[in-house]
Amino acid sequence: MTTAFYHDERCLWHTTGEHALIIPVGGYVQPPAGAGHAESPETKRRFKNLLEVSGLWKKLAVRDAAPVTTEDMLRVHSEDYLKKFKDVSDAGGGNAGYYSPFGRGSYEIATVSAGLVKQGVQDVLTGAVSNGYVLSRPPGHHCLSEASMGFCLLANIPIALEAARAAHGALRVAVVDWDVHHGNGTEAVFYDRDDTLTISLHQEACFPLDKGAAADRGAGKGLGCNLNIPLLPGGGHQAYLDAFDLLVAPALRAYRPELIVVASGLDANGVDPLARMLAHAETFRAMATRIKALAAELCDGKLLCVHEGGYSELMVPFCGLAIVETLLGEKTDVIDPMFDIIHAQQPPADMIAFQRARLEAQAKAVFG
């Protein structure tokens, strides 16, 4: 079995400018003393570094890729958006949408990030690799066809899937998004289509504030092909396992995809600055174990994880390592240093039961 890891140093050179967490410096907002904008390269760099020092790096098929082409991007994005993005990037940076700052050269870097995802989809589909993880940056799951959003500058996964369809023909794909924020961009691209099942597990009303409702199930031919699973803040480890067992697994089995792509945000961890979900590295290992087994059952193991959010420099490497260990079928001696603390902070039994009851009610509404 070959597990690939897709990475390009240029992705870590994308800059978001001077911010304090997510707010631009200016007025009463002082320049930061530390990392600055939440979407910094350090979480990804430390993830890659931990793979190296743990010894896993030598067991991975490490690959890069060509940037996506304008033709690739135009299958998903409007010409007006791409022109605006390129013009602002060339002029020194700014914004081309909502909460998505970038600097000079970020247009070209974003095409590299999307290119890594395109190559990963191609390799998994053709059997060149068994599965893979793409360390994409800038991320993509919030990006709309006509505007950037939420740190996301290109719709990385939709671009890759449409390129695969252009090359190979019709393709049934399931996108499972476990980023703590709703995958509104991916949802919007495929909302009225039945060739892509989109599933998003996310903290309720986190970001975007008005997206991710359980009632949003798709439209037209896509009715029933969108599944939102909003989780209560502080839901913790068990909420994710219950969501998988009650909703994600049955939905995947009913849809029977030919490929599963995970939008792998790692920001549900218990110390992430932009969420409140109390997951730990073992949560991500458990979800990865479940999704790998489902891929083996449904689509000959064809599985690709694509990096999205995650803003704790401490926790992202350990959560990511747990996923890659699972893809490889290996276990290192690395231990999540925050496990004992986050485990002790898990919600009480009555809250766990309340969250599960909500999920059971949703499952009954979806599956009958």
State pLDDT tens for residues 66-97: 999 999 999 999 999 999 999 999 999 999 99
Written as six digits, the tokens of 188 are 């919007």
Interval 50-73 mean pLDDT: 98
Q: DSSP 3-state assignment of 224?
A: coil
Please, which residues bridge with residue 202 across strands? 230
Residue 138, pLDDT score? 98
**pLDDT computed for residue 279 by the predictor:** 98
**CATH number of the domain within which 250 lies:** 3.40.800.20
Q: Are 65 and 6 in contact (CB under 8 A)?
A: yes
Q: Which pLDDT belongs to residue 286?
A: 98
Give the count of domains, the chain.
1
Q: How far apart are CA 139 and CA 155, in angstroms?
A: 8
Domain that holds residue 273: 3-367
pLDDT digits (tens, 9 = 90+) for 24-52: 999 999 988 777 899 999 999 999 999 99
Radius of gyration of the chain (CA): 19
pLDDT score recorded for residue 33 = 76
Which tens digits make up the pLDDT trace of 177-209?
999 999 999 999 999 999 999 999 999 999 999
Strand 23-24 and strand 173-177: pairing?
Answer: unpaired
Q: Identify the pLDDT of residue 367.
A: 97
Q: How far is CA 246 from CA 108, 223, 250, 266, in A?
A: 41, 20, 7, 21
Looking at residues 255-283, what average pLDDT do you find?
Answer: 98
pLDDT of residue 32: 84
Active site residues: 142
- Predicted local confidence at residue 207, as pLDDT: 98
Q: What was the pLDDT predicted at 31?
A: 86
**What pLDDT is attached to residue 66?**
98
Residue 229: the pLDDT is 98
Q: CA–CA separation, 65 vs 85, rounded Å?
A: 22
**pLDDT-based confidence at residue 245 (cuts at 50, 70, 90):** very high
pLDDT in tens, 275-302: 999 999 999 999 999 999 999 999 999 9
Q: Among residues 280, 278, 270, 276, which one has the least CA distance to residue 321? A: 280
Give the Cβ contact number of residue 333 at 10 Å.
Answer: 6
Mean pLDDT value of segment 251-269: 98
Q: What is the mean pLDDT of the chain?
A: 97
